[in-house]
Amino acid sequence: MEDERIDDLQYKGLKIIQKDKAFRFGLDAVLLANFADVKKGNSVIDLGTGTGIISILLAGKTEASSIVGLEIQEDMAEMASRSVKMNCLEDRVKIVCGDIKESVSLFGASSFDVVVTNPPYMNRGGGIINLSDTKAISRHEILCTLEDVIRSASKLLVPGGQFAMVHRPDRLADIIWLMRNYSIEPKYIRFVHPSPYKKPNLILIKGSRQGRPQLKMLDPLYVYDENGKYSKEINEIYCRDE
């Protein structure tokens, strides 16, 4: 289609369709796909899948039996479905057009082992937002809030199921409060820094539904090293060392 392009994910031959003027995946999606702990035979749902990047990467990286990508924007969901088909992943990955707030009625309670999400980072307010703008919907809490995401995740997860999310450090207090409020116990946090000595600009957090309290701080992840080159770990995550 016009204004679309096919990007090589440089991992197991996977590719993805993206629009030049729409929201495109970034480092945060790749890091979340690497951070989520998906085991063989797990059922996974990706809330707000967008281009389908996380769902497709998880299909390539893990032995999950089924992965659902839920996306409210019809054009994005249709494009993500074509990416799934292009990668011949239809037997394991399904893209569903629907609202996160209606996800429990769509799929049923306690129906997934793992919930992953890269939700809009910016809360409501501040500036005029075009409600038909794909980028704005992906970045701002227009169609769903952080609470909507965490509430839905808790209901969708089996007891002991894992919730994994990437977000911004300035929302950490909200994230932990909401997770505990909806019976998801925070278990692991990792701060992502642009480079050593710079403040983190992303956090990766994992929790367990009805889990026991014990929060572990993982080593920081640096995107670039002190020489301005991609760090060894980032190269490993992108499989550039192979």
**What CATH number should be reported for the domain holding residue 78?**
3.40.50.150
**Rounded distance, CA 87 to CA 17, Å?**
10
Give me the mean pLDDT over the 187-216 stretch.
96
Supply the pLDDT for residue 21.
65
Is the pLDDT at 126 greater than 90? The verdict is no
Give me the mean pLDDT over the 178-195 stretch.
97
Q: Among residues 66, 114, 53, 58, which one has the least CA distance to residue 94? A: 66
Residue 105 lies in a domain: yes
Supply the pLDDT for residue 5.
84
CB atoms within 10 A of CB 68: 23
Range of the domain at 74: 4-237
When comparing pLDDT for 16 and 129, which is higher?
A: 16
DSSP state of 149: H
The residues that bridge with 192 in the sheet, in sequence order, are 202, 221
Range of lowest pLDDT (24-33, 37-46, 76-85): 24-33
pLDDT band at 2 (very low <50, low <70, confident <90, very high): low
Residue 147 lies in a domain: yes
Q: How many domains does the chain have?
A: 1
Residue 101 lies in a domain: yes
Residue 31 lies in a domain: yes
CB 23 within 8 A of CB 45: no
Chain center to CA of 122: 15
Highest mean pLDDT among 72-76, 215-219, 235-239: 215-219
Residue 170 lies in a domain: yes
Residue 242 lies in a domain: no
Supply the pLDDT for residue 14.
87
Residue 74 lies in a domain: yes
pLDDT band at 23 (very low <50, low <70, confident <90, very high): low
Range of lowest pLDDT (37-51, 91-105, 114-128): 114-128
When comparing pLDDT for 120 and 22, which is higher?
A: 120
Q: What percent of the chain has pLDDT over 90?
A: 74
